[in-house]
């Protein structure tokens, strides 16, 4: 049996403790269409945290068959701020910013095809760094200070506890580490309440070397975010993604290193990404 087929048939993320949410665009049975656009992507974790957008029209992502490694994807265009969100989720995703050790891993692409010199949001639960929530995206601004930088922030309501952005610039460690329109496996360990700042946000691209984001002494938030957990734009519907959303998992605790490696290899084999 080929490695890819074996990994697919033998691995189930639900066996890993702490799986909080899991959305898999390749699974057509978990996708609900509305006039050819996606109105719902069901949560496969079993926890019922389904991504939805019941407003028919251009704000719903497209569903594209066999787009990545022969698998279906959600495709977003930034000009339309296409998005899905978990309704009434203000408290549900608090663990991502309140200091709870957690983990997220995503497969997808960021783009520059229709609106370069802008930022793109993969997922978010707040509108800006000054608000409680978490943000993950990509900045394609032409300035050398921010060009092609992965943009990440855990926000406490008074500032960022951990982020890629340091003022108006990005450190070299997060610039030009992914290629626009190329699918990557991206993951981060989050422990924003850690007393050792260097351990608050540790990121990997395709299982490579650790990248530690800027961290600060600000206390993590103890209140709920003011915006629903949203995929494809910021929580308030701006900063739309151009690119594909393939698969996304969130864990409300940190899996072991062996488990994290297994998840990376599963996703890499499935989506045709070489993982170290």
Mind listing the pLDDT tens digit for each residue in 191-227? 999 998 888 999 999 999 999 988 888 999 999 999 9
Q: What is the pLDDT at residue 143?
A: 66
**Interatomic CA distance for residues 96 and 112, integer angstroms:** 28
Q: What is the pLDDT at residue 79?
A: 87
- pLDDT tier at 1 (50, 70, 90 boundaries)? very low
Helical axes 257-271 vs 3-10, angle rounded to 10°? 130
**Interatomic CA distance for residues 36 and 95, integer angstroms:** 34
- CB–CB of 233/121 below 8 Å? yes
Cut 0.85: pTM above it: yes
Q: What is the pLDDT at residue 6?
A: 46
Q: Average of pLDDT values for 263-273? A: 96
- CB–CB of 26/246 below 8 Å? yes
Residue 248 has pLDDT above 90, yes or no: yes
**Interatomic CA distance for residues 16 and 83, integer angstroms:** 28
Domains of the chain and CATH, by start: 3-271 (2.60.120.200)
Mind listing the pLDDT tens digit for each residue in 104-143? 999 999 987 555 678 899 999 987 767 899 999 998 877 6
> What values do phi and psi take at 31, rounded to 5?
-110, 130
Residue 242 has pLDDT above 80, yes or no: yes
Residue 89 has pLDDT above 80, yes or no: yes
Q: Average of pLDDT values for 228-247? A: 94
> What values do phi and psi take at 119, rounded to 5?
-105, 155
**Interatomic CA distance for residues 250 and 275, integer angstroms:** 19
Mind listing the pLDDT tens digit for each residue in 38-84? 999 999 999 999 999 999 889 999 999 999 999 999 999 988 999 99
Contacts with 214 (C-beta within 8 Å, 6 or more apart), sequence order: 160, 162, 163, 164, 165, 166, 171
Residue 145 has pLDDT above 50, yes or no: yes
Q: What is the pLDDT at residue 5?
A: 47
**Interatomic CA distance for residues 215 and 164, integer angstroms:** 8
């Amino acid at each position: 049996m080929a490695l890819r087929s074996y990994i697919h048939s033998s691995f189930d993320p639900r066996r890993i403790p702490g799986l909080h949410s899991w959305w898999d665009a390749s699974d057509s049975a978990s996708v609900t269409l509305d006039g050819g656009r996606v109105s719902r992507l069901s949560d496969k974790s079993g926890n019922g945290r389904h991504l939805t957008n019941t407003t028919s029209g251009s704000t719903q992502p497209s569903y594209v068959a066999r787009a990545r490694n022969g698998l279906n994807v959600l495709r977003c265009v930034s000009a339309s701020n296409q998005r899905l969100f978990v309704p009434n989720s203000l408290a549900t995703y608090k663990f991502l910013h309140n200091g709870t050790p957690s983990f997220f891993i995503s497969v997808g692409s960021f783009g520059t095809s229709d609106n370069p010199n802008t930022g793109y949001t993969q997922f978010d639960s707040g509108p800006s760094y000054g608000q409680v929530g978490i943000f993950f995206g990509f900045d394609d601004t032409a300035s050398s200070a921010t060009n092609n930088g992965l943009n990440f922030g855990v926000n406490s309501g008074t500032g960022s506890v951990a982020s890629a952005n340091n003022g108006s610039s990005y450190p070299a460690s997060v610039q030009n580490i992914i290629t626009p329109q190329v699918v990557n496996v991206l993951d981060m360990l989050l422990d924003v309440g850690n007393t050792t700042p260097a351990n608050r946000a540790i990121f990997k691209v395709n299982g490579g070397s650790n990248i530690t984001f800027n961290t600060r002494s600000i206390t993590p938030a103890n209140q709920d975010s003011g915006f629903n957990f949203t995929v494809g734009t910021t929580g308030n519907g701006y900063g739309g993604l151009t690119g594909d959303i393939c698969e996304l998992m969130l864990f409300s605790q940190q899996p072991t290193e062996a488990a994290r490696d297994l998840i990376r290899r599963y996703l890499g084999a499935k989506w045709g990404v070489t993982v170290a």
